[in-house]
Amino acid sequence: MNKIFKLIGWILGLLGIVLGIWAFASGETNPTSVDVILRYTYFLLIAAVIIWIGIAIFITAKNNPKGLVKALLVIVVAAVVVLIAYAVASGAPAFNVKTQPSQQILKFTDTMLTLTYILGGLAICAIIFGIIRNALKK
């Protein structure tokens, strides 16, 4: 099983390198190359999240079946946050770009940026609350 994961990792890595070189080499003459590399990136991101959620549910169900309800609640809350981020994403055209990506790619990019801002803010809050909690414990 480990060999399969390693082989898949190498294949996906090489495909990313090849697509990246192609996108950089033909970006000015072939505007669809940027769309292809962005779609590949989004595909890998979505696949990683789905696999991560699947493994988390499997491990939780195996170790603590009662904790499965909490895990499913977290997944539902995360899905709602992603849907809200998608709903508020503007999909506005990119600045200083000769050929614009498709509207769908612009919307996905804005969604990912919004999610990055949310996760970054939550990470900063977690750090601050962790420092305060540790200071109060001592």
Q: In the prediction, which pLDDT does 38 show?
A: 77
5-39 pLDDT, tens digit per residue, is 788 778 888 887 887 787 777 766 776 777 777 77
- The number of domains in the chain is 1
Average pLDDT over residues 28-57: 77
What is d(CA 108, CA 105) in angstroms, rounded to the nearest whole number? 5
The lowest-confidence range among 23-32, 85-94, 95-104 is: 23-32
* Residues of the domain holding 77: 2-137
Burial annotation 117-132 (CB, 10 A radius, 16+ → b, else e): eeeeeeeeeeeeeeee
* Distance from the first to the final alpha carbon of the chain: 46
pLDDT at 84 over 90: yes
What is d(CA 80, CA 76) in angstroms, rounded to the nearest whole number? 6
Q: In the prediction, which pLDDT does 27 show?
A: 65
Dump the DSSP string for 64-122.
Answer: -TTHHHHHHHHHHHHHHHHHHHHHH---PPPTT-SSPPPHHHHHHHHHHHHHHHHHHHH
